Amino acid sequence: MMKFRYSELLRCPLEQSAMQVKDGQLRCEKGHCFDIARQGYVNLLGPGDKRSRDPGDSRDMVAARREFLQSGHYEPVAEALAVSVSRLIGRDAVIADAGCGEGYYLEKLQQHLDLDAGAATLIGFDISKWAVQAATRRIQATWLVASNRRIPLAPGSVDCLLCLFGFPVFDAFMTALQPGGTLLLVTAGPRHLIELREILYPTIKHSESAVVQQAVDAGFVQGHSSSLQYTTAPLRQREISDLLTMTPHLFRASHEGKLRAAQLQNFPVTVDVRVQLLHKNPPG
Ligand SMILES: C[S@@+](CC[C@H](N)C(=O)[O-])C[C@H]1O[C@@H](n2cnc3c(N)ncnc32)[C@H](O)[C@@H]1O
């Protein structure tokens, strides 16, 4: 059982005031209390942060993502991320993963960078309680159920913010980052999982993502961008099923398309991702 890792950067989602641990709870200066779950995380979703009773990825999606990522097929993505982050940060940096899922990338980052547990501050948050519960089993970090729309951290406190395959909210990201801080945005490129998409859909849309422009519109300065493309080892039937369950294709694909995908065996796929750095410039 993991112990909750407190950070003095935590802020009450209701009052934005500082929080302290007392009697198994996280308490803000204005008296709001949040229970520390026995798994070692805190749910800091405020009123209005939830648009459904069980927001974010479901228990099944989280389990599928955990299984699939454990197989190592996305390890090169984690390595590319670690290389990019290591060029950006000092040893005592604050790194936050927004929409951290079940914690795979934060764990890999800790391993790759050999982060001294006492030096860097690692914070992972996701709107899905299932994801955060799974993440607590990976590493000691400050794990939170929280929304990208209202990040419960002190404004200007994060050196490096990660958003992988997530739902960026650039205004909130800008507020959380410190001046000179960097957002690492990892998104799917045009050929990502193309072989699977060709099986799932009658036609493939080649739409250009507008996400970087949205970041620039929110005040970010576009930095270095790199693409990573490779072909995975042949995926087994179970891995294809997990991959489908962890992606939006689960909802978007037709029943027939999913039946075709269910027949696949030993099926390599292209991974095509873009790592985009976006900087928050210091004023002046
Ligand atoms: C495609 S998954 C990616 C998870 C993880 N970054 C990864 O790459 O393994 C997207 C994640 O965003 C979470 N999510 C959705 N809306 C969110 C929000 N408003 N705030 C925080 N997380 C959110 C989902 O629960 C899910 O875990």
DSSP annotation string for 11-39: B-TTT--BEEEETTEEEETTS-EEEBPTT
pLDDT of residue 140: 92
pLDDT in tens, 22-46: 999 999 999 999 999 999 999 999 8
First-last CA distance in the chain: 47
For atom 8 of ligand 1, which residue has the closest CA?
164
pLDDT of residue 129: 97
Nearest-angstrom CA–CA distance, 132 and 135: 5
pLDDT of residue 284: 66
Binding-site residues, ligand 1, Cβ < 6 A = 56-57, 65, 99-101, 104, 126-128, 131, 147-149, 164-167
For atom 12 of ligand 1, which residue has the closest CA?
99
Q: Which domain holds residue 78?
A: 51-279
For atom 13 of ligand 1, which residue has the closest CA?
99
- Quickly count: other Cβ atoms within 10 Å of residue 129's Cβ: 20
Nearest-angstrom CA–CA distance, 158 and 117: 17
Pocket test for ligand 1, best of 41, 128, 184 (most atoms within 8 A of CB): 128
pLDDT of residue 96: 98
Nearest-angstrom CA–CA distance, 254 and 206: 19
Strands 19-22 and 121-126: unpaired
The rounded Å distance from CA 128 to ligand 1 centre is 7
Question: Rounded to whole angstroms, what are the CA distances from 162 to 52, 173, 176, 254?
Answer: 25, 10, 12, 32
Q: Residue ranges of the chain with pLDDT lower than 70?
A: 1, 115-118, 208, 283-284
3-state secondary structure string across 59-83 = HHHHHHHHHHHHCCCCHHHHHHHHH
The rounded Å distance from CA 166 to ligand 1 centre is 5
Atom of ligand 1 nearest to the CA of 248: 1
Atom of ligand 1 nearest to the CA of 164: 6
Task: Pull the structure tokens for residue 48.
Answer: 């209005």
Cβ-based burial of 205 (10 A; exposed 0-12, middle 13-18, buried ≥19): exposed
The rounded Å distance from CA 100 to ligand 1 centre is 6
34: β partners: 26
For atom 25 of ligand 1, which residue has the closest CA?
56
42: β partners: 36, 144
- The DSSP code for 266 is S
The rounded Å distance from CA 57 to ligand 1 centre is 7
pLDDT of residue 250: 86
For atom 5 of ligand 1, which residue has the closest CA?
101
The rounded Å distance from CA 169 to ligand 1 centre is 12
Nearest-angstrom CA–CA distance, 218 and 171: 6
pLDDT of residue 72: 98
Reduced to 3 states (helix: H, G, I; strand: E, B; else coil), residue 277 is strand
The rounded Å distance from CA 98 to ligand 1 centre is 7
Task: Pull the structure tokens for residue 74.
Answer: 């996305």
Atom of ligand 1 nearest to the CA of 65: 9
The rounded Å distance from CA 127 to ligand 1 centre is 7
65 near 165, Cβ under 8 Å?
no
CATH no. for residue 135? Answer: 3.40.50.150
Question: Rounded to whole angstroms, what are the CA distances from 82 to 103, 113, 131, 133, 145?
Answer: 14, 7, 21, 23, 24
Cβ-based burial of 194 (10 A; exposed 0-12, middle 13-18, buried ≥19): middle
46 within a domain of the structure (yes/no): no
2 within a domain of the structure (yes/no): no
Based on the structure, what is the number of domains in the chain?
1
Task: Pull the structure tokens for residue 162.
Answer: 């990660």
219 within a domain of the structure (yes/no): yes
The rounded Å distance from CA 126 to ligand 1 centre is 6
For atom 4 of ligand 1, which residue has the closest CA?
101
Nearest-angstrom CA–CA distance, 188 and 147: 22
